[in-house]
A and B are shown apart, each in its own frame.
Chain A
């Protein structure tokens, strides 16, 4: 069980490593871009086929944003969709045998820091700088260190939740694979291939790769909407 492989380092700022996670995330971005172009080119007045699918997805996402953040927050929908799709495809890429990009703290912490910036930006923009700073002194001024700590805890908890779920699944899958290899060597050692490795990890993969990936993408975007909506109200 190793971390993401480092391919090479760009020699600026004490070496900027290009890792497996970054390569896979570029692949994911390319995939999403191709999907968007494929779904939206040649739009018709009366939708058919793939256009109906795309419109249904957009309507569902707009409804989710409206019901979670309240009316008048429709302009956050593209950002939420970007976070959700990056997270979903970044996790689901493990089905193709690539390392999931979300099993790397750098990826999820990056997203969480963007969301954290958006929370504070929305708060300042909506309430003004004075009310924003005054919010730290609620309910009394002694609580200021605790309020600052809870603001720092937001991106940490968001990123650790996503990273922990995906990395935990990756560790358990890897451990199970090696355990099955050792087990089939012990009882079916005369066969040239570890026979027990066939099929059994797939059942576990249904939960760890498919279910957890969809769940964490949904939770990350729901929390984004909840926090940003909370900052505006």
Chain B
């Protein structure tokens, strides 16, 4: 088998595996939003503060998912391993 085809196929598989990391941020962000809803329900007057903090927290929690996305994008569109066998 052509080693480059093997590397390309394995990279596509790796990109798919990397996106499993999307689970974590999904659960975390859902929890944050639920807690924010509970907080606003208890104290509706601090809605703007809670919303702003929630957005920041969600952005922080999203980081790991974004890292996984970047890894997947690199593996698919800018794969450094495919040219490994050329040299």
- Chain A contact residues, CB within 8 Å of chain B: 1, 3, 157, 160-161, 163-165, 167-168, 171, 215, 218-219, 222-223, 226
> Is the pair B77, A160 in contact by a Cβ cutoff of 8 Å?
no
Give the residues in chain A near B56, CB-CB below 8 Å: 219, 222-223, 226
Interface segment out of the listed B2-10, B27-35, B36-44, B59-67: B59-67
**A164 touching B59, Cβ below 8 Å:** no
B-chain residues with CB within 8 Å of residue A218 when the two chains form the complex: 55
Contact between B73 and A165, CB atoms less than 8 A apart: no
Would you call B17 an interface residue if the criterion is a C-beta within 8 Å of the partner chain's C-beta atoms?
Answer: no
Partner among B55, B69, B77, B78 whose Cβ is within 8 Å of the Cβ of A219: B55
Interface size range of chain B in the complex: 10 to 19
Assembled-state Cα–Cα distance A1/B52 (Å): 35
Q: Which of B59, B62, B70, B77 contacts A1 (CB 8 A)?
A: B77
Residue numbers in B under 8 Å from A222 (CB-CB)? 52, 55-56, 59
Chain B nearest CB, measured from A70 CB (Å): 15
Residues of the B chain whose Cβ atoms lie less than 8 Å from the Cβ of A219: 55-56, 59
- Could you say which residues of chain B place their CB within 8 Å of the CB of A223? 56, 59
- In the complex, are the beta carbons of B73 and A161 less than 8 A apart? no
